[in-house]
Amino acid sequence: GNARVDDAVAQFKRMRCHATNLLASRRGAYHHNIAPVADSPYMAAPPTDLIFPGLSTAVGAARFSRCDKILSRFFERTLLTASDDLPFVITGDIAAMWLRDSTWQVNPFFHSRNPAIGRMLAAVSQAQVRCVLIDPYANAFNSSANGNCWHKDFPHQSDWVFERKFELDSLASVLYLARRIVDVFGITEHLDARFHAAVDGMVRLAIREQQHDPESYMFLRGNGVAHDSLSHSGRGAPVAATGMVWSGFRPSDDACVYGYHVPSNLFFANELHKLPAVLAAATPVAAATPVANLVARAAQLADDIVAGVKAHALTDHGYAYEVDGRGSSLYCDDANVPSLLSLPYLGVCEADEPAYVATRKQVLSSNNPWYFSGTALRGVGSQHTPQHHAWPIAVAIEAMTSTNANDMLAAIEVLERTDAGTGCMHESVHVDDPSRFTREWFSWADMTWLDLVLRATR
């Protein structure tokens, strides 16, 4: 049976068909100056039951049809080909590849055990590594050095860079994807010399940002949107050294109020702690920095981060969302992952750990300014979207981090009922009127719903 599945999937591997009709249908959805980025899918869509055997019998026909459409849309319209023939995972109606988004867009595929899917993930990891080596401070990239960008925020911004907001979770997401490929598929082809160089660069950058120099990274965007620029004339709020790593922006692409984003620091530290096993699985490479030295620096960095979080961001009421190390803290949570709500989903902690339980209680309450409850749904929203809009991603994360397995089925049904009849998960949905939503096509939300379904069927 496995051989037949592998043979069938192999027939689809790297089939390059020019999907002119698909590309034409999505050109009208692009924002601002965003142009189409690639003219062919990276690979054709394998049948859903070849990716996830047994799914069609585990869920009803209507739900399976939705899963099937989401996967078809991913392979035909989202997983495209960059100029160097590596995958290019666009966000949906924005034709750029975010490091964070692309990790969570492919995360459901870790429920598969098909080697062809594992090789696809390894190629996505290689594409992410290429991006980090181009500019480790950037969050989003183009499919080629075409100069396309959301906004030219830096005079010497690489033509590969679509946006250069420094978000610590972008680096953590790259480490997460690379590690999970090894853990789930046993594949190590992506752990090459370029991966080693990228990790070395990440660690060096993070150590530097433990002692953040406010003159080293300034971000001012003259669009009148306060959270699109760093405060204090583009330098961000002052911080004191804590052991944590400074980040200019949140996973929502909004500016941090205080420079230490706690969920991102915990996520990054967790991946650094797991780095030795990843590097041990890699084929030895000739590198400027010996592996033992890199492992030691990464371990110390991770320990420093965790100690800083415990000293500055943890109280009896749980974790703060952001701190500055000078006594100021922000207690809230945002829908975007990594969030405080998502910590068990990230593998940072167990769902029943007291600190997380206390944090979750605050996040899912009126104490969180971005938690909204209405007649159609309730959940965490974001500064990034209008008031009274909950994010389907956050609704799914809430269910996947619950200690009650029934919550996953309930969340699946709520999300299906609140898609405004589009068959798509949206970025955010008004909690009283699901016909009011943001973003027609947001692949990360689609794929997180799929992840929720796959977890619920296990």
Per-residue tens of pLDDT for the chain, all 458 residues: 444 334 433 433 333 332 322 222 222 333 334 444 455 999 999 999 999 999 999 999 999 999 999 999 999 999 999 999 999 999 999 999 999 999 999 999 999 999 999 999 999 999 999 999 999 999 999 999 999 999 999 999 999 999 999 999 999 999 999 999 999 999 999 999 999 999 999 999 999 999 999 999 999 998 889 999 999 999 999 999 999 999 999 999 999 999 999 999 999 999 999 999 999 998 787 677 789 999 999 999 999 999 999 999 999 999 999 999 999 999 999 999 999 999 999 999 999 999 999 999 999 999 999 999 999 999 999 999 999 999 999 999 999 999 999 999 999 999 999 999 999 999 999 999 999 999 999 999 999 999 999 999 98
Q: Are residues 52 and 67 in the same domain?
A: yes
Distances (CA, A) of 184 to 45, 175, 308: 21, 14, 31
Q: How many domains does the chain have?
A: 2
**Six token digits for residue 235:** 């330098």
Q: Are residues 394 and 364 in the same domain?
A: no
Q: Are residues 273 and 368 in the same domain?
A: yes
CA distance 391 to 383: 11
Domain harbouring 202, CATH code: 1.50.10.10
Q: Are residues 289 and 391 in the same domain?
A: no
Q: Are residues 383 and 292 in the same domain?
A: no
Residue 32: per-residue pLDDT = 37
Residue 154: per-residue pLDDT = 96
Q: Determine the structural domain holding residue 343 and report its residue range.
A: 2-373
Q: Show which of 342, 373, 404 is a domain's final residue.
A: 373
Q: Are residues 352 and 380 in the same domain?
A: no
CA distance 324 to 58: 48
Q: Show which of 373, 388, 404 is a domain's final residue.
A: 373
Residue 326: alpha-carbon gap to chain centroid: 29
Q: Are residues 11 and 70 in the same domain?
A: yes
Q: Which of 202, 41, 187 is nearest to 109 (CA)?
A: 187
Q: Show which of 324, 357, 373 is a domain's final residue.
A: 373
Q: Are residues 355 and 446 in the same domain?
A: no
> Which amino acid type is present at position 351?
A
Q: Are residues 386 and 418 in the same domain?
A: yes
Q: Are residues 382 and 442 in the same domain?
A: yes
* Whether residue 290 has a cis bond before it, omega within 30° of 0: no
Task: Count CB atoms within 10 A of the CB of residue 9.
Answer: 21
CA distance 391 to 381: 5
Residue 289: per-residue pLDDT = 76
Distances (CA, A) of 30 to 25, 82, 144, 253, 394: 11, 18, 17, 18, 25
Q: Are residues 323 and 439 in the same domain?
A: no
Helix axes of 193-209 and 291-312: crossing angle, nearest 10 degrees? 40
pTM of the predicted structure, to 2 decimals = 0.92
Q: Are residues 395 and 368 in the same domain?
A: no
